[in-house]
Structure 1
Amino acid sequence: MVTYKKAVEILKHHCNTEYHKRNTVLYHNFCMTHEGNANSVVASINAAGKNAIKENRRKLIPIIKTIILCGAQNIALMGHRDDINAGDEVLASHIKNCGRNASYISKSTQNKIIACCGEVITDEIINKTKESKFFTIMADETTDLSVKEQLTICIRYFNTKEYKIEEDFIKFVDVVDLTGKNLARSILQELCKLDLDLANKLSMEPLI
């Protein structure tokens, strides 16, 4: 009887210890997670990551729309001199509260967005060209403002949905050797990168 009484006292003392209380909470959380009634740490981290991605995408939408609008209207992007004055509360709040390295309006981010837009436009043109099957390549050598030699590549094809012939710019290609052989090689290399079937190429013409 005395032994039992001491055992009860020892158990009561054990129940009041900090490590027992801590382990009891851990055990309870483990059971909840194992039975599916609570999210694991990994699941919680993944959920937080997904929410962060969703929020960042929401912040990027007005920035992307602004860049697309400027591109469509041929308006230059002014970089750090831009002002937030279009009634976009989401963008205004983001610019006000974000860190200096996470504003998403730096020139490097703008260039990345412009490059992505260019890829989307090029893919659309290539898809229409493949639907048309046959196409003509137009190219010419030009010099940009930095006095760098570039090859301008355009493509002419039949739009099967609108039933008309279209001519679209594809890209600029930096060149050093301006011989006809090298220019032809550069054009063919770019066509291969675009996954166009060279067997369907009707002709190669200079831009006028």
Structure 2
Amino acid sequence: MCHGSKPETPVSKPLTNFKKALEILSKHTDKDHHRGSIVKSEEFMKVISNVQLPIASVFNTAVADQVALNRQKLMSIFKTIVLCRKQNISLCSHRFIFTDLEKDITDSGYHGNFLAQLCFRTDPDDTVLQDHLARPSRNATYTSSYSE
């Protein structure tokens, strides 16, 4: 091999010399880049088949827990939206201002149909939705009139 020329590998040049194929392939399997590719592909397959969590989730379990909690909240909210759409119920009333959910539900009749259905839907078993409606975070209520 001359200086500056690439090594002959099955990746950079087609394998046409089948007499030396076993020798070329055995040298290729000993290369670091081949071993690294094998490890990466095995790890990828574990993540795709849900045998193993993605590495970002493993290192940051707080984010994974928050994502799971948000998905539970959104699932309850989506079910309410689907119910309203199936029953042809508009999501918001003619006047809708969200300040305090409990105050809106009990004191005024101006909360939207969506919020009324959402509060009606809170089962005693659905503690995630009850907690979210009782103490929503300011930037993630998922119930604003703009999102409706």
Larger RCO: Structure 1 or Structure 2 (Cα < 8 Å, ≥ 6 residues apart)? 2
Structure with max Cα Rg: 1
Q: TM-score, normalised by structure 2?
A: 0.39
